[in-house]
Amino acid sequence: MIKIEHQPSEARLQELGVKTWPIWSKEVSQFPWTYDESETCYFLEGDVIVTPNQGEPVIMSQGDLVTFPAGMSCTWNIRRDVRKHYNFG
């Protein structure tokens, strides 16, 4: 199950060390993805719908802190170019 925190506090982001994580960028597109390990990410820009193969679509955008579970297969539909910090494991 995808976990999402809308607009987490600056203290929460500092606690996780989000600003030290690498940044991933991707233009408007659609593609399948499978998570080999869990990923936590923080959206700096963008608008995305992630639809798990088993589950309901989840909308995420700028300011959202999202955790994807290991083993989940899904489809990413990027509606506005994405920039996000990410951390695996």
pLDDT number for residue 56: 95
Number of domains into which the chain is organized: 1
Q: Specify the CATH number for the domain of residue 51.
A: 2.60.120.10
Q: Which domain holds residue 9?
A: 3-88
pLDDT digits (tens, 9 = 90+) for 48-71: 999 999 999 999 999 999 999 999
pLDDT digits (tens, 9 = 90+) for 16-52: 999 999 999 999 999 999 999 999 999 999 999 999 9
pLDDT number for residue 48: 98
What is the DSSP code string of 24-80? EEE-SEEEEEE-SS-EEEEEEEEEEEEEESSS--EEEETTEEEEEPTT-EEEEEEEE
pLDDT number for residue 39: 98
